[in-house]
Amino acid sequence: MPIKACVFDAYGTLFDVAAAARILAEQPGQDQLAAVWPKLAADWRLKQLQYTWLRAITGDHVPFWDVTCDGLDWAMEASGLDDPELREMLLALYWELPAYREVPEMLATLKARGYQTAILSNGSPDMLDGAVDFAGVRTWLDDVLSVESVGIFKPARVVYDMVGDRFDTTPGEVLFVSSNGWDAASAAAYGFHTVWVNRAGEPMDRLPAKPAHVLDDLTGIPALAGDL
């Protein structure tokens, strides 16, 4: 069954979530952040994700911006940073995350070959709009789907249902791409063709399903979609 829609996670997949800490650490006067920014960026992302999972389990849903702020607060404390101005600068930069270098050409190629394209993300609609517009990739996206429409974070199945509802596709007609191994595995269990973009060379998650394909970046997505 040929692929009709190529759907992407946003944060860490299309947009570089470590960029906020890295960019600010490179600015003059940020010596304290420069010494710890890799740890802060990793802790921030991990806590952001952990809080989405816990809230999905308990039913205590909040917009993704709330867990983003909470994750940063935990990460800053873990790195010994107590600086409200630094916190505000980091959060402001999160609205201006750059896309990975291969993203524009990859999306443009998919659209030129007739695929429907979309983002499916935990992100709040306003956050996603900011990221998409800052990266300049809206012209190659048919839609930007946020979990706010269903009120629960991934990997709840109702989130993946949004793709078929929007594009009138079966799971077997969708190629789903994520940099999160757990997300790609959950989407595989749902029935999507899946790609895990494993930029960091991490081990495979021990989950019931596994992503069918593992790539280092997004460059090979158009060719893969054509082969399925």
| Domains of the chain and any CATH numbers | 5-15+99-227 (3.40.50.1000), 19-96 (1.10.150.240)
**Cβ-based burial of 88 (10 A; exposed 0-12, middle 13-18, buried ≥19):** exposed
User: What integer is the mean pLDDT of 102-129?
Assistant: 96
**Rounded-to-integer distance, Cα 30 and Cα 47, Å:** 23
Type of residue found at 186: S
pLDDT digits (tens, 9 = 90+) for 16-38: 999 999 999 999 999 999 999 99
**pLDDT confidence of 228, banded at 50, 70, 90?**
confident
**The pLDDT of residue 67 is above 70:** yes
Residues constituting the chain: 228
% of the chain with per-residue pLDDT over 70:
100
Specify whether 217 is catalytic.
Answer: no
Residue 13 has pLDDT above 90, yes or no: yes
The active-site residue, picked from 9, 16, 43, 183, is 9
15 contacts 127 by C-beta, under 8 angstroms? no
Give mean pLDDT, residues 46-63: 97
Residue 225 scores a pLDDT above 80: yes
Q: Report the chain's mean pLDDT, rounded to a whole number.
A: 96
Per-residue model confidence (pLDDT) at position 1: 67
189-201 pLDDT per residue, tens: 999 999 999 999 9
- Residues sharing a CB contact under 8 Å with residue 10, sequence separation 6 or more, in sequence order: 119, 121, 123, 128, 131
Q: What is the pLDDT of residues 152-173, one digit of tens each?
A: 999 999 999 999 999 999 999 9
User: pLDDT, tens digit, for every residue of 205-218?
Assistant: 999 999 999 999 99
pLDDT of residue 78: 97
Mean pLDDT over 139-146 rounds to 97
* Pairwise CA distance, residues 88 & 130, whole Å: 17
Per-residue pLDDT, 194: 97
pLDDT at 87: 96
Token duo for residue 183: 């997300």
Percent of the chain with pLDDT over 90: 99
